[in-house]
Structure 1
Amino acid sequence: IASDRTLRDIAMLRPDSFDDLMLAHGIGQAKADKYGADMLKVVRTICEANDP
């Protein structure tokens, strides 16, 4: 679904919105529409688990 570069961008950006997610390399409107909600949920879960 996503290249290593895209995953690195998402990890660095820590997006919390579709607009933020689409700043990552390789995430356009189509991928954001199809996978965005799930991607944002994963990012949110990981960030919450790792924030002190």
Structure 2
Amino acid sequence: MEKVRMTVRLVPKLNQYVQNIAKECGKSKNSIIVDACWEFIEKIKKKINSM
């Protein structure tokens, strides 16, 4: 898999939310965001395949 450098800016409220989840799960903020992106991609795939 090719690595791509990406910058994501979060609004303050979302940033705080992601930080709290990261602390609870013991993961980094980046890891939480990447996981969320993968979940979003999987949902899109399912929606496209069900059409």
TM-score bucket of the superposed structures, by smaller chain: 0.3 to 0.5
Which structure has more RCO (C-alpha within 8 Å, separation ≥ 6)? Answer: 1
TM-score (norm. length: structure 1): 0.39
State TM-score, norm by structure 2.
Answer: 0.40
